[in-house]
Structure 1
Amino acid sequence: MPSAATGAAPRRPPSGSWIQPATSGFLGVVVGFASSFTLILAGLARVGASPAQAASGLFVLCLLIGVLAFGFALWRREPIAIAWSTPGAALLIATGLPTGGYPAAVGAFLFAAALIVVAGLWPAFGRLVGAIPRSLASAMLAGILFTLCLAPVRAVAEMPALAAPVVLAWALAWRFARPYAVPLTFVVAAAAILSVAKFPAGLSALGPPALAFAVPVLVPATLGSLGLPLFIVTMASQNVPGLAVLSANGYRPPTGPIFVATGLGSGISALFGGVPVNLAAITAALCAGPESHPDPAKRWYSTAVYGVGYVVVALCTGAATALVTAAPPLLIEAVAGLALLGSLGGALTAALADERERLPAVVTFAVAASGVAAFGIGAPFWALAAGGALLALDRWR
């Protein structure tokens, strides 16, 4: 299958070339899971799920993310990373117990999943996303990455004994063994985590939770107050930025099959208490950027590893939750920030390359980096809207 980034058929990786993408994929699993799994559990609990139902939802989400990511990697030979809807989980926390309780919330999950499938079957949506100028897509990506790339600085200031060796290892590896800078950094960070983590006893009992089938109830009020907003924030704050991240790195996968597949996956997830699944943004940058592999045609290996990693996490959901909880979150963010510095540089270069589009790109970057949210929709969407409006104003005659 040809790669969209190069047009050439992928070749068997030579010896040693798998280390970079494998590390990027594994780091994507750690960052993606650690950064928001507590938000998923809290959101499900807020809409009335029991601890067993919330654990079931998390397990199915991890399993679906792994299967879909691995499937897309084999199908498209592109680094298409899948994630759960973190903005959707935040929306659950803000909404609280809906009318009709947890069964009505599950019905709203199913409704949002059906709308995602409809978006995939609507070609006009794909054309609209494909029309986003590369300068704005790159600027939005830079704004998303900017805050995370500050994490190493904050980590050194707040926990110098743990973070300083990690940053030093990255700098030395970048100078003397650049292709292995991220893998070596992760090894040093893992050693630092092991030195301070307090692991709970009885990890053998922390395997996958029992599946808890959720019987959906369609309550019109909850479909409008939860289902429709859940669809909007998932598309605007996850899928659109995810496509923009891929575009900024030279990949233009077809939107229809992706949305149909993630919509159907979201429907399965809903039946076991899970929020929708969608394209990843920051995780996609880890897998699709130059730090994953110098050759764009080989970066899909990272999402193949990412998919396998999430399946393993699903089978060890309890243990993975306990182990990740024991790690300092800022240190994990610092490793991700170091790995994404190259992507940030590339995104800024592409965003500012066209002098006529430079100011709209700067506006896009500023809004995305601000992290502001309005009407339940995150900054990446508003960044594209602001930059696009300014660009349209400049081109209007």
Structure 2
Amino acid sequence: MNEKSHSLRGRDFISPTIAALISVIVNYGGTFILVFQAAKVAGLSPEMTASWIWSISIGVGVTGIWLSYRYREPIITAWSTPGVAFLVSALAVTPYPEAIGAYMISAAGFIVLGLSGMFERFVRIIPPGIASGLLAGILLQFGISAFEGAKIDPLLVVTLFVAYILLRRFTSRYAIVGILVIGLIYLVSLGKVDFSSVSLAVASPVFVFPEFSLHAVLGVALPLFIITLTGQYMPGMLVLRNDGFKTSANPILTVTGLGSLITAPFGSHAFNVAAITAAICTGKDAHEDSSKRYIAGIACGVFYIIVGIFGVTLAALFLILPASFIATLAGLALIGTIGGSLANALTDPKGRETALITFLATAANVTLLGVGGAFWGLIAGLVAHLLIHGKLKKEVSTD
């Protein structure tokens, strides 16, 4: 891929940059409210909340830019969404300085795991059908949500859907760009968003001296590590593999772990390779030429840094966009990836049944023992594959 990536033309930047913008909008507009909820539970001041947003946005931006540029692949990084969902309850019973210490311990765990190479070896032996079934199961809810918004705002959803179909027919490459622009025009013209209350203000980082306790290690660090590993890193790596990108998980774990460790004292809980929002940037809609999709990773990083600099202000901007718009935008942007994943999952007749088991178990999204549906879907598929076929895929060296 590297040889092709040197010849870039102006139009090569358009689709990846728009894909990156949509990815960032979906990330902030979809789940970022959890950060505000967790901050409220922890009793954080507005300055400390802004520092949390600053640290995690800057950290995600810098690591994403470096990894995407270094490996010439769209390595999209993001904060741990299941991690912050867990913190909404954990911060209620954990002093904030101890939580900061726990963030650092969790980050150190990812560095060690990345340096050991154990996680990458596990990723390599997962059969391709199961990996595709897992991805399709994770993304299915987002595809469904694209149309569920019709219950709240049918005109918006119908407008975006019709625009998407027509744009795919006449200018497929710019379909996602088109629905983003059309959707924003629709919202502004009908007065469904009010930007008058938004004003730019630069965020300032606030250093919190970490404290360490056994309670925080067992109650915050360990669950945060497991939830982030199973709910983010595993599906995130499979998103990359599904679209043909081969960068080892080792440097990704190490770099994001190091970044999390450095930014933790300023409030960042954990960041990692992205899964759902990464799929918007790793497929053909981002760029027909896979060797140029790394531009989307760099663009994502730039957008995250901009949001981080202005802290709560721009995060609030994303939050005022209607949930139905965010859901429809994300679902339509992921239709191609969902279809491709299902097709790949069912390609091999011998592995079709176990891939389907993985897909259905993941789509059910059952949470057990505090661990989300992606992990249990993967376990169901691997167990079924082992019992039916007696072995997994042979590990293939990428060195």
Q: Does 1:248 align with 2:242?
A: yes
Structure 1 position 98, deviation (Å): 3.3
1:266–1:277 CA contact under 8 A, matched in 2: yes
1:257 to 251, 254, 275: 251
CA contact under 8 A between 1:40 and 1:89: conserved in structure 2? yes
Q: How does 1:330-369 map to 2 (within 5 A)?
A: 330-369=324-363
Secondary structure of the equivalent of 1:238?
helix
Q: In the alignment, what sits opposite 2:390?
A: 396
- 1:313 CA displacement: 1.2
Amino acid at match of 2:139: L
Distance 1:197 1:207 in 2: 24
| 3-state SS, counterpart of residue 272 of structure 2 | strand
Residue 30 (structure 1) aligned with residue 25 (structure 2): yes
Classify the secondary structure of the residue corresponding to 2:206: coil
- Between the aligned partners of 1:374 and 1:270, the Cα distance in structure 2 is 28
Which of the numbers 304, 309, 321 marks the counterpart of 1:315?
309
Q: Secondary structure at the match of 2:12?
A: coil
Deviation per residue, 1:293-325 (Å, 9 max, x gap): 111111111111111111111122233122222
Code of the aligned partner of 1:148: F
Q: CA deviation at 1:201?
A: 4.4
Change (3 A) 1:183 1:201: closer
Which amino acid counterpart does residue 204 of structure 2 have in structure 1?
A: A
**Alignment partner of 1:168 out of 162, 166, 176:** 162
Contact preservation (8 Å) 1:98, 1:222: no
1:20 aligns with 2:15: yes
| Equivalent position to 2:202, from 201, 208, 212 | 208
8 Å Cα contact 2:51/2:311 also seen in 1: no
Q: Distance in 2 between matches of 1:322 and 1:285?
A: 24
Runs of at least 5 residues in structure 2 that lack an aligned partner in the other structure: 392-399
Equivalent residue pairs, number = 390
Query: 2-side partners of 1:207 and 1:14: how far apart?
Result: 35
- 1:124 corresponds to which residue? 118
* Distance across 2 between alignment mates of 1:52 and 1:207: 12
CA distance 1:218–1:12, change in 2 (3 Å): same
Q: Which residue of 2 aligns with 1:87?
A: 82
Q: Could you state the TM-score of these two structures normalised by the residue count of structure 1?
A: 0.94
Identity %, equivalent residues: 34
The 8 Å contact of residues 160 and 182 in structure 2, kept in 1 or not, is answered as: yes
Matching residue of 1:231: 225
Partners of 2:204 and 2:192 lie apart in 1 by 27
Q: Assess if the C-alpha contact under 8 Å between 1:98 and 1:105 holds in 2.
A: no
Q: Measure the CA separation in 2 of the matches of 1:180 and 1:11.
A: 23
Residue of structure 2 in register with 1:158 after alignment: 152
Amino acid at match of 1:236: T
Distance 1:307 1:17 in 2: 17
Deviations 1:264-316 (A, max 9, x none): 11112211011100010011100101211111111111111111111111122
User: How far off is 1:200 after superposition?
Assistant: 5.5
34-43 vs 107-116, greater mean Cα deviation: 34-43
1:96-130, Cα deviation, whole Å (9 max, x unpaired):
4335x111111111110111111111112211112
TM-score, normalised by the number of residues in structure 2: 0.94
The 1-side partners of 2:376 and 2:211 are apart by: 33
1:97–1:153 distance in 2 versus 1, CA, 3 Å: closer
Q: Any conservation in 2 of the 1:47–1:92 contact (CA below 8 Å)?
A: no
Equivalent in the alignment of 1:44? 39
| Structure-2 separation of matches of 1:153 and 1:187 | 19
**TM-aligned CA deviation for residue 396 of structure 1:** 2.2
Q: Does 1:64 align with 2:64?
A: no
Alpha-carbon separation, structure 1, partners of 2:316 and 2:91: 26
Partner SS for 1:203: coil
